[in-house]
Amino acid sequence: MVLPRDYLLLSVVALIFCGSSISAAAAGDVTAGRKIAHQHCARCHVIDEKNKFGGIGSTPSFKLLVTAFKDWRTRFKTFYARRPHPALITIEGRGRLREDLPPNAHPIELSSKAVDDILALAEDIRRSATKP
């Protein structure tokens, strides 16, 4: 038998779960994402106008990534698991930093929030890149 009290509990649980997934999707902060990207990604990628002549020529710019690939969002959500990043970047709570790296590898550990922020930045770059 399901008591009214159980319904109440269920709806509270549902609210917590739905609420958290909604806020997780909207949690990214463009400004924070830009800062993180300039700090950690800009030595290989061109991020925006600020490092237009930076990066490494053979590495795709963020603008290229968000315009050339249909699945750019997935690529940005999972960049840390895609080559070459696992060798240099780990996300807190998702796997361990490699310990077999040479001393000049500069391994980077980012938070999950940083991944959301970077995604928010990618969305922002995509918006400006596809503006008519």
Rounded Cα distance between 101 and 98, Å, is: 6
Is residue 45 a contact point for ligand HEC (CB under 6 A)?
A: yes
Name the one residue in this structure whose structure tokens are 């980077």: 108
Residues with Cβ within 8 Å of residue 122, at least 6 apart in sequence: 33, 62, 65, 66, 72, 73, 76
Site string for ligand HEC, 52-81 (x = CB under 6 A): -------xx----x---------xx--x--
CB of 33 to ligand HEC, least distance (A): 9
Count of residues engaged in binding ligand HEC, rule: CB under 6 A: 19
Residue among 11 and 39 whose Cβ is closer to ligand HEC:
39
- Part in contact with ligand HEC (CB under 6 A); list of ranges 10-18, 41-49, 90-98, 123-131: 41-49
One-letter amino acid for residue 95 of the chain: G
Decide: 47 and 41 in contact? Cβ < 8 Å: yes
CA dihedral 60, 45, 75, 64 (to 10 degrees): -40
Q: How many CB atoms lie within 10 A of CB 121?
A: 27
- Part in contact with ligand HEC (CB under 6 A); list of ranges 8-16, 17-25, 40-48, 93-101: 40-48
Q: Which residues form the interface with ligand HEC (CB under 6 A)?
A: 37, 40-41, 43-45, 59-60, 65, 75-76, 79, 82-85, 88-89, 118
